[in-house]
A = this chain, B = another copy of it.
Amino acid sequence: MIVVLKQGASEQQRGDLIEWIKSLGLDVHLSIGKMQTVLGLIGDTATIDTELIEGLAIVESVMRVTEQFKKANRKFHSDDSIFEIGGAKIGDGNFMMIAGPCSVESEEQICAIAESVKASGAQMLRGGAYKPRTSPYDFQGMRDEGIGLLLKAKKLTGLPIVTEIMDLSHLEHFSEVDVIQVGARNMQNMELLKQLGRTKQPILLKRGLSSTLKELLLSAEYIMAGGNEQVILCERGIRTFETATRNTCDIGAVPVLKELSHLPVIVDPSHACGIARYVKPLTLAAVAAGADGIIVEVHNNPEKAMCDGPQSLKPEQFAELVKSVERVREAISS
C-alpha cells in the first residue's frame, strides 16, 4: 500500500502520520521524490481502511500495491535511483560501462586489462576471483588472492571493482570491494541475499538462468529488506530451447524492469550470447532499449583465457565498442 502525501505537508505532519502507521504494526518506507513524497507501507495491510487514510488532510491518495516487492517497486519510489560508485554514477540517465576478464589470472593480466579498459572509457573493472564452475574439476579461481590483485589494479588505475561472491563464508574478503556481485546461480540463495542486505556496498544482482523478472525483483527485495537499498539489476540471458547462442538475451527485460522498478538495469551481453562476435550487436541493442549500463568480458588474450575465452572481447574491440555505445546513447537521448 502506498500513501501519496500532498505537496504542502510539513515534516511534523509527515512524522506524526508515520508514527501512527507504525503503531499499527507496519513498516514505513519513506521516499521523497522530485515530484511527490510517498509512504510505502510494508506488512499486513489487508485490514487497513484506505478511506480512513485518504480522509486525512495531508494525504493526496492511497493505493494498494499488489506486487510482493515493495522497496524495489517504482510505486514506492517514483524517481530513478542513482548510485555513486568510485566517482562514477549509474541510474537516471547516468550510464556505466563495466569491463574486465572472466577470471583474474595474474597481476600482470589484470593490471594490463584494467589499464586498457580504463583508457577506452570503462568506469568499473570486473574480474572473477571466486568462480562458479559447473564441474568440480575446472579452475576454481584465485579466490581471496584474486581479490587482492583486483585491488592492486584499482590502485593502479583508479577504477572501482566489482567481483562475485560465491558464499557468505568469504564475505570478510570483500570489505574493500566496491560492488559485490551475486551470480545467476545464487539469485535465490536467500541466506546470502539477507546478509548482503546488511552490507554497505551496492550489490550487482544477476538474473537467474530461468528466473522470472518478478523473481528477480523479489530477490532484490530480499536485499533491500535487509537495509541495503543499492541494488543494480542485471539481465544476462535466460535459458531456452535455442542453442545457437549460449543463452537467450531477454532484451524485453530492460523496459519491463525499468517500468516496475526504480533500480538501475544493466545487461551482460557476454554471458547472454557466449560468442564474442555477437557481443557488439547485443550491447548496442541493450543501450538502445534503455539500459543504464553494460558489463562485458574483455581479455588481452582470449585464446589463452582460463574461462569464457570464446565470449571475451580483445581490448581493441572493446575500445571500438565504447565509441559505438556513445553514438547510440546520443541517438536515443535526442
Contacts and interface: CB of A to CB of B under 8 A. Distances in A.
A294 to B, nearest CB: 12
A133 B190 contact: yes
B218 A244 contact: no
Interface string A283-310: 0111111100000000000000000000
A240 B332 CA distance: 29
A132 interface: yes
Interface stretch (A10-18, A274-282, A311-319): A274-282
Contact of A185 (B168, B189, B284, B332): B189
A146 to B, nearest CB: 15
Interface string A38-53: 0000110000000000
A225 B138 CA distance: 12
B244 A241 contact: no
B132 A188 contact: yes
Interface in A185-241: 185-186, 188-192, 194, 209-210, 212-215, 218, 221-222, 225-226, 238-241
Interface stretch (A73-81, A106-114, A249-257): A249-257
A66 to B, nearest CB: 13
Nearest to A140: B190
Contact of A244 (B132, B137, B213, B330): B213
Interface string A167-179: 1111000000000
A6 to B, nearest CB: 29
A324 interface: yes
A330 B328 CA distance: 9
Given A132-B188, A168-B167, A284 B332 contact: yes
Contact of A42 (B137, B226, B289): B137
Nearest to A258: B281
Contact of A189 (B186, B251, B290, B331): B186
Contacts of A213: 242, 244
Interface in A317-331: 324, 327-328, 330-331
A268 to B, nearest CB: 13
A23 interface: no
A259 interface: yes
A281 to B, nearest CB: 4
Q: What 9 pairs across the A-B complex have the smallest Cβ distances?
A: A210-B210, A167-B191, A288-B288, A331-B331, A284-B288, A285-B285, A285-B289, A185-B188, A255-B281
13 contacts: A68-B134, A68-B135, A136-B226, A214-B244, A238-B242, A243-B243, A248-B250, A251-B285, A252-B272, A252-B282, A287-B288, A327-B331, A327-B332
Given A238-B240, A254-B281, 5 more contacts: A214-B244, A244-B253, A251-B282, A255-B273, A281-B288
